[in-house]
A = this chain, B = another copy of it.
Amino acid sequence: MKFTAQQSDDGVTERLFDLTVAGAVVPGVLWTPEAAVGPRPLLLIGHGGSQHKLFAPLAAYAKNYAKTFHYAVALIDGPGHGARTTQEQSAGFGEKIRQQMSRGEGLGGEVLERMMQWAGQAKPEWQAVLDAVQLLDIVGSGGPVGYLGLSMGALSGISLVADEPRIKAAVFGLAGLHEGSQVLAEAARKLAVPIEFLLQWDDEMVSRQAAMALFDAIGSAEKTLHANRGGHGGVPPFERAGWMQFFSRHLGPAIISP
């Protein structure tokens, strides 16, 4: 893992890194408390379709977890996203998503197919990032790891969390079981850690039925569905506060060194 830039602001240190995985350069970012010494819980955040590792709302949550809970938080540019694509391709993919939404068709066809392909590719990348980050003194290998990902971030995360025993709790949502989602369904059934699952009651991309089917498939003994009014982009702010409660319950507080 090669660190390419580092800066600190408001008590949080941001480190950009590149990690080569199976020939591909995966760019990522790690946030930790500025005064971090020793191991701590680690939260992985998987961004949504057409977003990237420094997408402002995700970076804001990440910094908040580092600042409030003293967690380490990592994001990567998913396959086909951020620095791993051109602005033109990224805009083109975003436009395809918007068109599907405006036609009221829901997630499907080429867009879903590409997201599932990227999700499969992201899994070994996240595992390599986890390996590398856990070698750092300020993260360590002993602490619990969580995963937070909505929409495409959930598609990527479900198979990762299903196969990765280091991850102890996850927030997923804004995703569903669509026709031909056998791989996703199988991964969901393998999940065994506590899951909080977000559903938007009027989601233009994921039908209520598809989202319910995905929640139903989750194998975990502890799983909670949170459904709210509103569309794909309208998750209410109080749910974000709820994720902090969830992770604090399952990953625990960081041990602050004296």
Instruction: List residues of A (163-189) whose CB comes within 8 Å of B's CBs.
Output: none
8 Å CB contact of A242 from B199, B225, B227, B242:
B242
Flag if A229 contacts B221 (CB, 8 Å).
Answer: yes
Given contacts A242-B242, A242-B245, A245-B245, whether A225 and B225 have CB atoms under 8 Å apart is: yes
Secondary structure type dominating chain A contacts: mixed
Task: Compute how far the CA of A144 lies from the CA of B250 in the bound complex, rounded to whole angstroms.
Answer: 33
Instruction: List residues of A (196-241) whose CB comes within 8 Å of B's CBs.
Output: 199, 201, 215-216, 221-229, 236, 238-239, 241
Flag if B245 contacts A241 (CB, 8 Å).
Answer: yes
Number of copies: 2
Task: Compute how far the CA of A238 lies from the CA of B224 in the bound complex, rounded to whole angstroms.
Answer: 10
Given contacts A238-B249, A242-B245, A245-B242, whether A223 and B229 have CB atoms under 8 Å apart is: yes
Closest to A236 in B: B222
Residues of B within 8 A of A227 (CB): 215, 224-225, 227
Task: Compute how far the CA of A241 lies from the CA of B246 in the bound complex, rounded to whole angstroms.
Answer: 11
Within the complex, the shortest CB–CB distance from A218 to chain B, in Å, comes to: 9
Residues of B within 8 A of A224 (CB): 226-228, 236, 239
Task: Compute how far the CA of A222 lies from the CA of B229 in the bound complex, rounded to whole angstroms.
Answer: 7
Instruction: List residues of A (147-167) whose CB comes within 8 Å of B's CBs.
Output: none
Given contacts A242-B245, A245-B245, whether A225 and B226 have CB atoms under 8 Å apart is: yes
Task: Compute how far the CA of A199 lies from the CA of B245 in the bound complex, rounded to whole angstroms.
Answer: 20
Task: Compute how far the CA of A238 lies from the CA of B228 in the bound complex, rounded to whole angstroms.
Answer: 19
Closest to A246 in B: B238
- Which of A216, A226, A239 has the most C-beta atoms of chain B within 10 angstroms of its own C-beta? A226
14 sampled A-B residue pairs with Cβ under 8 A: A199-B225, A201-B216, A201-B225, A222-B228, A222-B236, A223-B228, A224-B226, A224-B227, A224-B228, A224-B239, A225-B225, A226-B226, A227-B227, A238-B249
